Amino acid sequence: MDVSPGNRRSSCLLKCALFCLLAAAGASRAQELRFESAGARFGIPVSEASEKLHEGDVFVSGDLPWIWELGSDWRLKPRVELSAGWLGKNDQNGVVGSADPWVALGHGKVPLWLEAGAGPTILSRTKFGTADRAGSKDFGIPFQFTSHIGFYCEVASRIRLGYRFQHMSNAGLGSPNPGLTLHVFYASYLF
């Protein structure tokens, strides 16, 4: 069997990521797996290239059973999030769903956390607009990847407000691959 350099590189990266995850899990402090929060988000396009598509969804987030203590009172919390919602513009709407692992980085008792994550996303509709018009958007295939970076602040004992810079694309698995970049604002209730 002939293995291409790209496949060898992908296999090596996957093995390295798995090794790092297992090593970090062994060095982490265990806690119970639990639902952490539930909330709602709304995303607006970063630029006109996003063709005025908006996204709204509801989500639940759970703490994974580890916390990484990074020293000097820094903590890294891994989480997983499930979401379902709407993607559309005008009268053209579709359903969007995702399952995203992500991490939050915090320091001491400071209520501001940095967050980053990426995961698979499924679209019920891949085309918005008509091909002969300037306002059309074709995502190529229903399977997409969504990544984000942002921050959140716990503004009250049970309320969190946050912002994400979010990008979705099919990572070149389909054609075309225009991607969608949004400013996403959210509020959640902490359990």
Domain identity same for 152 and 176? yes
Per-residue model confidence as pLDDT tens digits over 63-82: 998 889 998 899 999 999 99
Per-residue model confidence as pLDDT tens digits over 92-133: 899 999 999 999 999 999 999 999 999 999 999 999 876 656
Domain identity same for 38 and 23? no
Domain identity same for 59 and 138? yes
Which structural domain, as residue segments, surrounds residue 135? 31-190
**Amino acid at the residue 29:** R
For residue 77, the domain's CATH number is 2.40.160.20
pTM over 0.85, yes/no: no
What is the rounded CA–CA span in Å between residue 53 and residue 40? Answer: 17
Number of domains in the chain: 2
Domain identity same for 125 and 157? yes
- 3 state SS of 176: coil
Per-residue model confidence as pLDDT tens digits over 139-181: 999 999 999 999 999 999 999 999 999 999 999 999 999 999 9
Domain identity same for 70 and 6? no
Domain identity same for 105 and 177? yes
Domain identity same for 134 and 178? yes
Domain identity same for 92 and 55? yes
Prior bond of 45 cis (ω within 30°):
no
